[in-house]
Structure 1
Amino acid sequence: MPSAITINSDVGESFGLHSFGHDDELLALIDAANIACGFHAGDPHVMSATVASAARAGVAVGAHPGLPDLTGFGRRQMNLTAEEVRDLVVYQAGALNAFVTDAGGRLNHIKPHGALFGMLSRDEDLMKPVAEFAARRGAQIYGLAGTAHQRAADNAGAQFVPELYVDLNYDSNGSLIIGRRPHATDPAAAADRVKSAVSTGTITANDGSTLAVEFSSICVHSDTPNCVEVAKAVLFALETSQNASNQEGHAIGNA
């Protein structure tokens, strides 16, 4: 079983007068917040307010940079060079970091958003400047184990945090299936995925095949209709799995 499993969530995705997500409720349940930096969602005021809320909740703060696509919520791929990716991420993480340092905190991690997340997971050349920037900042990289996320982070000397997703499906190759619109997730199904991942190191892909997963953090998205119930189910599943593991270890020790 992975040790010290955390829960993270993408937050700060409101914009102007439009409010999205369930940030306040989630911040009471999670360990790390991935805050939108203005390109796919968020704006300066939302960024500032979300950083302050995360600080009050004692939650680690990370940058969640995305593609410059407010209309598509950063979920439409773009043809970018490594230099363009670098500048997009440095610009957005730098903006968020200004609010973080002004609040007396530090930037904990960088986690690409949406289509950018998928693009960087498949292309180490695109991921390399992001990982190198994170290493220079002393920030962690959140991403998918066994992909360019991890390879680039390892090569750059950035600490890598592998994630498990409970509200997105995986294909048989281990890639996330990211739709244009969020949908409700069955809390029981999310809990079952966590229990399977913790106890067996595997989950079920969308085609029914068994997929090995490595993770130390679980992502619960904030824009799904019942994300708070999903987060609570994940927490309960983690607690249950941890107790079962401890009891098993105790029984073996007394055998």
Structure 2
Amino acid sequence: MGRLLLNCDMGESYGAWTMGLDAEVMPFIDCANIACGFHAGDPGIMRKTVSLALAHDVMIGAHPAYPDLVGFGRRSMACTPAEIQDLLHYQIGALDGICRVQGGRVRYVKPHGAMYNDMMADPEQLRAVIQAIARYDAQLPLMLMATRDNSAAQVLADEFGVQLWFEAFADRAYDSAGRLVSRQLPGAVHHDPEVIIAQALTLSRGEPLRASDGSDLHLKADTLCVHGDNTSSVSAVQRIRQALGEQSAS
């Protein structure tokens, strides 16, 4: 895919409640993961966020989740593979329809919250997600977490002819397996902008990170997840974009 793409979760407002600074961060990202109404968002928010992404020539991704508005999609649900596929088809189709009436289309899929974590932990759920995408449109890449060893996920994707985009995080610490360190542990989240930018550049160069046990961790990353929750996070995204641009030019 060339340079490291920046992706951000967006469209997570709902009705009269506003979440995130979508308009402020959109000019600095490449991929907008737009909520599809199950964990956040509603038809009007989806329409506005799609319009904003198209205005900035940002790729639109479906950000489907478990039907859990109260828990913001962060609680696991016991779903069968068939139910997972139904949930994905319903949400991807809804966002794709809103895109099409504005002259755009869904370009990739990135599950949200607990659904994302569950597919990374459970091969059968990952199979259900990949199969759902293949049945909807095999040309849609699936965004999932880059770990030390993504070979099993790659085998599944190859089986169904679905492309994978591996995602890394500049503001999170990793364990030796390439999994994110639990937020309940100290040092799990980086807050210093200089540390975040340095990790983003390390990932973009394909150089190893330092895992929590001190070992070198090599991650194959196609895209970097960033956040637009507040003014400081938007400023960090802007600085990451600038730093990556300077790195590409050098």
TM-score by length of 2: 0.87
Deviation at 1:152, TM superposition (A): 2.8
Q: Which amino acid aligns with 2:142?
A: I
User: Residue 215 of structure 2 aligns with which residue?
Assistant: 209
> 8 Å contact 1:143–1:149 — kept in the other structure?
no
SS in 2 for 1:176: coil
Q: How does 1:172-251 map to 2 (within 5 A)?
A: 172-177=176-181, 179=183, 185-223=191-229, 226-244=232-250
Deviation at 1:224, TM superposition (A): 5.5
Cα distance between partner residues in 1 of 2:66 and 2:232: 26
User: Residue 251 of structure 1 aligns with which residue?
Assistant: none
Cα distance between partner residues in 2 of 1:124 and 1:170: 21
> 8 Å contact 2:204–2:221 — kept in the other structure?
no
1:212-239 deviation line (CA, Å, top 9, x unaligned): 1111111102336622122122213312
SS in 2 for 1:213: coil
Q: Which amino acid aligns with 1:173?
A: A
User: Residue 127 of structure 2 aligns with which residue?
Assistant: 128
Q: Which runs of 5+ in 2 are unaligned?
A: none
> 8 Å contact 2:4–2:204 — kept in the other structure?
no
Deviation at 1:63, TM superposition (A): 0.2
User: Residue 88 of structure 1 aligns with which residue?
Assistant: 87
Deviation at 1:186, TM superposition (A): 2.5
Deviation at 1:109, TM superposition (A): 0.3
Residue-pair matches, total: 241
1:128-167 deviation line (CA, Å, top 9, x unaligned): 2321232341211111234465443232111211111113
> 8 Å contact 2:201–2:244 — kept in the other structure?
yes
TM-score by length of 1: 0.86
User: Residue 173 of structure 2 aligns with which residue?
Assistant: 169
> 8 Å contact 1:144–1:150 — kept in the other structure?
no
How big is the alpha-carbon RMSD for the aligned residues of Structure 1 and Structure 2? 2.2
Q: Percent identity?
A: 37
1:149-193 deviation line (CA, Å, top 9, x unaligned): 54432321112111111133323221234659xx78322111110
> 8 Å contact 2:8–2:29 — kept in the other structure?
yes
